[in-house]
Amino acid sequence: MAIRVIRTKEDPALREVALEVKKITPQVRKLLDELAETMYAAEGVGLAAPQVGIAKRLIVIDAQDQNGLLKLINPLIIERKGKEKAPEGCLSFPGVVGEVERDEIVTVQATDPDGHTVQICASGLLARAFQHEIDHLDGILFVDRVTCFISDENREVGREEA
Ligand code: NI
């Protein structure tokens, strides 16, 4: 296992639309383990494969709740309810925090590393993390959705243009 380098800011890898994973190979499982290891080393809540330069639909999340570490393949949001604004950050944008409106409750369907279909209904931090990480798979970054920058080392606070 290895800790991967997390791509940041303008890295074009972050804008790629990731491809569906058709077969769960040992390499896919190893990559999920490495994503988890990289996420924990960076003290993040979630990490998506494009953030380490791999355009595959793989995410890991640990919202420190009863679900523990989630390693998900081809995750999809199949149900959404309500709206909620909260501060958010991203391992690809160190030091940047902004308010983002997300769906309050989401149901995610995905394949786990054993090939089983799983459905997880989430609210709070986990719901937010699902939406944030699945966005990464489509090349969408949280800074695209920020309505108000709260803390930003790299840009002027409150600037509307990114
Ligand atoms: Ni992120």
Q: Kindly report, residue by residue over 4-35, the tens digit of the pLDDT.
A: 999 999 999 999 999 999 999 999 999 999 99
115 CA to middle of ligand 1, Å? 25
Report phi then psi at 89, rounded to 5: -135, 180
37 flagged as catalytic:
no
Helix (H) or strand (E) holding 60: strand 58-61
Angle at 82 between CA 78 and CA 88, to 5 degrees: 90
Domain contains 2: no
Please give the pLDDT value at position 154: 58
Please report whether residue 150 resides in a domain.
Answer: yes
3-class secondary-structure state, position 34: helix
CATH of the domain at 100: 3.90.45.10
In a domain, 19, yes or no: yes
Question: How far is the centre of ligand 1, averaged over its atoms, from the C-alpha of 143 (Å)?
Answer: 9
Distance 72 CA to ligand 1 centre (A): 15
* 4, part of any domain: no
Q: 31: domain range? A: 12-161
Catalytic residue among 84, 88, 133, 156: 133
Task: Measure 114 CA to ligand 1 centroid, in angstroms.
Answer: 25
Distance 145 CA to ligand 1 centre (A): 12
Domain assignment present for residue 1? The answer is: no
Percent of the chain with pLDDT over 90: 92
Count up the domains in the chain and report the number. 1
